Structure 1
Amino acid sequence: VKPETRVGLLAQRSVEMMVGILAVLKAGGAYVPLDPEYPAERLGYMIEDSGIALLLVQGGLRAPASVASMAGGPRVLDLDTVDVSGERATDPEVAVHGEQLAYVIYTSGSTGRPKGAAVRHAALSSCMAWMQ
């Protein structure tokens, strides 16, 4: 994962989901949250539309079947079985610019198809500062 690489995160709301989000952001990537409660068709559309390069899937959940048939589709990693023993445990210290993409969130899809809204790091930082 490099700066602005889009990474899908198919996980239940949990500590593991927050760890996944933090890992993607620390690597400089942009996360795309995927709710496992959504129908497979909607998830497949969001995965294809967002252009994710990597799909992180929480154990016990499955990527939509359509992902396997996507030409040039994302690499899928099961978070419970991936071996990270060879990876370093230190902060990657990736420099991130405020104009770089932080995440892509999808709308409810009132027009029939959900639409992705891209959020930059500067906007995310401003939102967090306001919330404090």
Structure 2
Amino acid sequence: MTPGDVLAPQVFAVTRADLVRYAEASGDHNPIHQDDDVARSVGLPGVIAHGMYTLALVGRAVAGWTGGAEVVELGAKFIAPVVVPAEGAAEVVVSGTVKSAGESLVTLALEVRCGDAKVLGMPKAVVRA
């Protein structure tokens, strides 16, 4: 990986069943992730994906690009929800470029979108080269 390399976008389909499985694995059973009425009652457009689930998809993309290299840093700001429809899936697209590459660390500048919206702000990953 060299600075400026563009990484092939990774596309993830997020379904309501994924949210149920994530809730079980994480222990996060907040009903905004499973019940449209509850989500709307707090001002959301509908059921949304867990923010940490969205960030986990970024981790999957990074692992795919780097062959499973050790992740030293992974972070972002949650700036917009991933709204997951009752039928079908929401599509999360993770793309990126190599920002810097040193002897031991590679920094990736990332973009994470769902439809036309950026859902994570300033997403970044650092991996051991």
Calculate the TM-score normalised by the size of structure 1: 0.27
Tell me which of the two structures has the higher relative contact order, counting C-alpha pairs closer than 8 angstroms and 6 or more residues apart: 2
- Structure 1 or 2: larger strand share? 2
Rg (Cα) greater in structure: 2
